[in-house]
């Protein structure tokens, strides 16, 4: 694996974007003066670009002043390059790069998934998500389908990307908080927002296949993320202050204590970096050893972190 040039972190609690040294973890550049508040992160290292949406001044479901901006950063210059105005679509949140080269981003209050041409920094389309509770999304590895988890609805929307249409919704037993998908695209992993469980969905049949209880995690989890090589799944529990390492067969689990309110993660080599928005800490997990390695401070409270 190539040596990382830097780390970018989204300090949601501090309304800043940080650039960190990838060896010492010291904060080297702080960008501020953003509207409230920066959320989530997409990093495209090979193009020296990172994308951070501005969601609004609230949280999911309680966002009285939704925003409509997608910030574009130059990773080489460590600077804000431009902003993309998403209007009329508002409350942008999770974003992913599709195999077709377009960026797809949930705009929660608009019940849309907005399509971005990243080469021209403009909106080129919007897909109906079927829910104003559509918060996070994931794209199947083959690029055929996109899935949104619709939190309070307790549903997962299925969007056909080739036909650009909402195919339908999969009903889950309880509200949801996060979503991931297996390397073969056969299993959608929805994170239960009411109980410490993962809900496994058969993507071809469109039904809940199984529920997995999270071991040694007392409260509901938040975000699920597969490692780039799909060898392990990281699952954070904001209310339990844990991150779980789970094998792709869901037969082995290890819960590891981290900081306050862990949110999103970044895999880097044999390590997993967990951003904790509650206390401004970032925790480094030794993935093969399944143990806590070290921690450091970054901002007031980062939600997302990425390497480039």
Quick check: is 307 in a domain?
no
Domain-embedded: residue 197 = yes
pLDDT of res. 59: 67
CA separation, residue 82 to residues 51, 52, 79, 146 (Å): 10, 11, 9, 27
Q: What is the CATH number of the domain that holds 50?
A: 2.130.10.10
Do the domain assignments include residue 279?
no
* Sheet (strand 7-11) strand order: 27-31, 16-20, 7-11, 302-307
The pTM is what? 0.96
Phi/psi at 77 (5° precision): -85, -10
In a domain, 67, yes or no: yes
- What is the C-alpha separation between 155 and 284, in angstroms, rounded? 33
**161 part of a folded domain:** yes
DSSP per residue, 134-163? EEEEEE-TTSSEEEEEETTTTEEEEEETTT
In-domain check, residue 191: yes
**What pLDDT score was predicted for residue 62?**
64
In angstroms, the CA 25 to CA 281 distance is 11
Residue 255 lies in a domain: no
Residue 170: which domain range? 34-213
In a domain, 238, yes or no: no
The total number of structural domains in the chain stands at 1
Query: In the prediction, which pLDDT does 286 show?
Result: 98
Q: With a cut of 50, which residues of the chain have pLDDT below it?
A: none
């Amino acid at each position: 694996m190539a040596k990382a040039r830097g780390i970018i972190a989204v300090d949601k609690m501090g309304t800043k974007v940080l650039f960190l040294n990838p060896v010492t973890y010291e904060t080297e550049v702080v960008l501020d003066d953003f509207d409230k508040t920066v959320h989530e992160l997409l990093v495209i290292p090979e193009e020296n670009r990172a994308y951070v949406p501005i969601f609004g001044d609230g949280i999911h479901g309680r966002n009285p002043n939704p925003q409509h901006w997608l910030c574009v950063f130059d990773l080489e210059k460590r600077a804000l390059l431009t902003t993309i105005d998403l209007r009329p679509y508002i409350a942008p949140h999770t974003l992913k790069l599709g195999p077709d080269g377009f960026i797809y981003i949930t705009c929660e209050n608009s019940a849309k998934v907005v399509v971005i041409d990243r080469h021209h920094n403009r909106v080129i389309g919007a897909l109906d998500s079927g829910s104003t509770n559509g918060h996070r999304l994931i794209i199947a590895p083959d690029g055929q389908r996109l899935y949104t988890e619709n939190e309070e609805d307790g549903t997962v929307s299925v969007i056909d990307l080739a036909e650009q249409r909402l195919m339908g919704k999969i009903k889950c037993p309880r509200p949801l908080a996060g979503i991931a998908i297996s390397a073969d695209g056969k299993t959608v992993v929805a994170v239960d927002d009411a109980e410490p469980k993962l809900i496994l969905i058969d993507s071809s049949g469109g039904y809940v296949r199984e529920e997995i209880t999270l071991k040694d995690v007392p409260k509901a989890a938040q975000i699920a993320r597969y490692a780039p090589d799909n060898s392990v799944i990281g699952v954070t529990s904001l209310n339990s202050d844990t991150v779980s390492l789970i094998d792709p067969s869901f037969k082995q689990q290890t819960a590891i204590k981290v900081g306050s309110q862990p949110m999103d993660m970044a895999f880097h080599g044999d390590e997993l970096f967990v951003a904790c928005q509650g206390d401004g800490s970032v925790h480094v997990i030794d993935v093969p050893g399944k143990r806590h390695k070290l921690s450091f401070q970054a901002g007031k409270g980062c939600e997302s972190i990425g390497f480039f």
